[in-house]
């Protein structure tokens, strides 16, 4: 017989389990009791928990209460009986929002599915995620674009709208296919699958497609296989979440935007700490930009019909960090500098030098986040003349020094922003 979960008490703390913060607190102050209603079934939830743990180690004297849970489960039966000082929750339903508000303690939401919840929100910046995906596909030379997502989820709709907006700014268009979230209902699944296959066959090719999550990305790649569409040669696909397990079992392995979920957890804990100290909540959501695109096989392609331009882009990808200059690229492509610059601006909306610099910046950020390499060596490996120049470029482009980027690194290993209206956007 399934045993009913009991509320935590001094004699029974098995559900949810508690973890004493290792960080020392002010003498005489009782530790804060904080409940974490964050799922462990998804990589994003686990990363949020890691970010919370990092904040507690550094700043807080907290006792953390948590039970392993999935995202789409009902509020725990014991929630109304739990006594503590604050809550961080992935609020996925109005019922959970109501239950958290009824607790009468400061709370922070880290999901954003229920905008009417009235609970302070720290979340990933969906518009910045979409822009990163659009830029990634455009840099590979695509002129046709697609978006595949869920028409019932606000985060997917935000990503769709922003993706379409950015592509439109370049004069491009996006073909959109969306479906509802389904549970069971095999007949409806089969119907939607046929619709997706038809959409894939009709999509102008070659095309770059953004899929609103890695979970959807797996199914999308399988649909490409069934439709006889080659990935990435005919359709390049980029997902969102950088869930290593999902991306690696995909065929081919799925490129993905890496949201800063650990940073979300850290900033949520910092906000809750302020709320528990009596500070007023922020008037707008706090939005965290993504880290980078983790490129895997699904977008490892250059979709450029102009062979000379394709050669130039290939040389930049392979040699940008080896002292490559604009003249070198023009010579390798067999073009004059002026002609090469005109073609780059027409297709990519940037100069040759800007394209080279972007590759170097991405490489430097990757080394700073993933290695303990001295900054001077990072500058050399990424193709910068010296570390002072690297520092100046990163400060100008990202608003941060190399040391700040390294300190804010959220996980190792792995492979790395524009504000949303009415929101506080954190720097990357």
Q: What's the per-residue H, E or C state across the chain?
A: CCCCCCCCECCECCCCEEEECCCCCCCCCCCEEEEEECCCCCHHHHHHHHHHHHHHHHCCCEEEEECCCCCCCCCCCCHHHCCCCEEEECCCCHHHHHHHHHCCCCEEECCCCCHHHCCCEEEECHHHHHHHHHHHHHHCCCCEEEEEEECCCHHHHHHHHHHHHHHHHCCCCEEEEEECCCCCCHHHHHHHHHHHHHHHHHCCCCEEEEECCHHHHHHHHHHHHHHCCCCCCCEEEEEECCCHHHHHHCCCCCEEEECCHHHHHHHHHHHHHHHHCCCCCCCCCEEECCCEEECCHHHCCCCCCCHHHHHHHHHHHHHHHHCCCHHHHHHHHCCCHHHHHHHHHHHHCCCHHHHHHHHHHHHHHHHHHHCCCCHHHHHHHCCCCCHHHHHHHHHHHHCCCHHHHHHCCCCCCCCCCCCCCCCEECCC
Output the CATH code of domain 307-406: 1.10.10.60
Residue intervals in the chain for CATH 1.10.10.60: 307-406
Is residue 129 scored above 70 in pLDDT? yes
pLDDT at 418 over 50: no
Distances (CA, A) of 149 to 46, 108, 178, 212, 387: 23, 27, 5, 5, 42
CATH code 3.40.50.2300 region(s) in the chain: 17-123+262-288, 126-259+293-301
Q: Give the pLDDT score at 72.
A: 66
CATH number for 126-259+293-301: choose from 3.40.50.2300, 3.40.50.300, 3.90.550.10, 3.40.50.720: 3.40.50.2300
pLDDT in tens, 144-157: 999 999 998 999 99
Share of the chain above pLDDT 90, in %: 60
**Would you state the pLDDT for residue 358?**
87
At residue 138, does pLDDT exceed 50? yes
pLDDT at 183: 65
Flag whether pLDDT at 165 surpasses 50: yes
* Least reliable range by pLDDT among 54-58, 182-186, 187-191, 262-266: 182-186
Q: 223 pLDDT exceeds 80?
A: yes
Residue 405: the pLDDT is: 85
Lowest-pLDDT choice from 83-87, 217-221, 395-399? 395-399
Confidence of residue 1 (pLDDT cuts 50, 70, 90): very low
Tokens representing 370 are 């993933």
Quick one: CA dihedral 161, 163, 169, 171, positive or negative? negative
User: If you average pLDDT over residues 160-185, what whole number do you get?
Assistant: 89
- What is the rounded average pLDDT of the residues 56-83? 83
Dihedrals phi, psi of 403, to nearest 5 degrees:
-65, -40
293-334 pLDDT, tens digit per residue, is 988 989 988 776 777 887 888 888 889 999 999 999 999 999
CATH 3.50.50.60 matches 17-123+262-288: no
Least confident of 19-28, 93-102, 164-173: 19-28
- Of the listed ranges 194-208, 351-365, 398-412, the least confidently predicted one is 398-412
């Amino acid at each position: 017989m399934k045993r009913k979960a009991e509320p935590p008490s001094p004699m029974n703390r098995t559900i949810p389990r508690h973890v004493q913060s290792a960080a020392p607190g002010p003498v005489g102050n009782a530790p804060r009791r904080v409940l974490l209603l964050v799922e462990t079934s998804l990589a994003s939830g686990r990363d949020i928990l890691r970010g919370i743990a990092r904040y507690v180690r550094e700043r807080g004297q907290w006792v953390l209460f948590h039970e392993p849970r999935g995202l789409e489960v009902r509020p725990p039966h014991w929630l109304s009986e739990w006594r503590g000082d604050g809550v961080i929750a992935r609020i996925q339903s109005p019922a959970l929002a109501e239950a958290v508000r009824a607790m009468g303690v400061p709370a922070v939401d880290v999901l954003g599915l229920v905008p009417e919840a009235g609970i302070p929100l720290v979340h990933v910046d969906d518009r910045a995620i979409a822009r990163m995906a659009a830029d990634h596909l455009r840099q590979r030379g695509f002129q046709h674009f697609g978006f595949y997502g869920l028409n019932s989820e606000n985060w997917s709709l935000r990503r769709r709208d922003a993706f379409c907006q950015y592509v439109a700014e370049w004069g491009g268009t996006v073909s959109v296919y969306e479906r509802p979230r389904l549970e069971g209902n095999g007949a409806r699944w089969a119907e939607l699958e046929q619709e997706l296959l038809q959409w894939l066959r009709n999509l102008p090719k070659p095309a770059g497609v953004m899929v609103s999550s890695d979970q959807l990305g797996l199914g999308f790649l399988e649909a490409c296989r069934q439709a006889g569409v080659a990935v990435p040669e005919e359709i390049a696909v980029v997902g969102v979440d950088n869930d290593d397990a999902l991306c690696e079992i995909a065929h081919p392995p799925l490129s993905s935007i890496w949201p800063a979920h650990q940073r979300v957890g850290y900033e949520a804990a910092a906000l809750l700490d302020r709320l528990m100290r009596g500070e007023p909540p922020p008037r707008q959501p706090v939005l965290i930009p993504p880290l980078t695109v983790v490129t895997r096989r699904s977008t490892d392609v250059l979709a450029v019909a102009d062979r000379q331009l394709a050669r130039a882009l290939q040389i930049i990808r392979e040699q940008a960090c080896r002292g490559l200059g604009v003249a070198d690229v023009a010579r390798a492509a067999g073009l004059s500098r002026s002609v090469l610059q005109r073609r780059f601006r027409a297709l990519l909306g940037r100069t040759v030098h800007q394209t080279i610099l972007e590759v170097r910046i991405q490489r430097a950020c990757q080394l700073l986040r993933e290695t303990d390499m001295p900054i001077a060596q990072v500058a050399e490996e990424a193709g910068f003349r010296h570390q002072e120049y690297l520092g100046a470029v990163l400060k100008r482009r990202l608003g941060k020094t190399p040391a700040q980027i390294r300190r804010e690194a959220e996980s190792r290993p792995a492979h790395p922003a524009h504000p949303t209206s009415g929101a506080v956007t954190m720097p990357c």
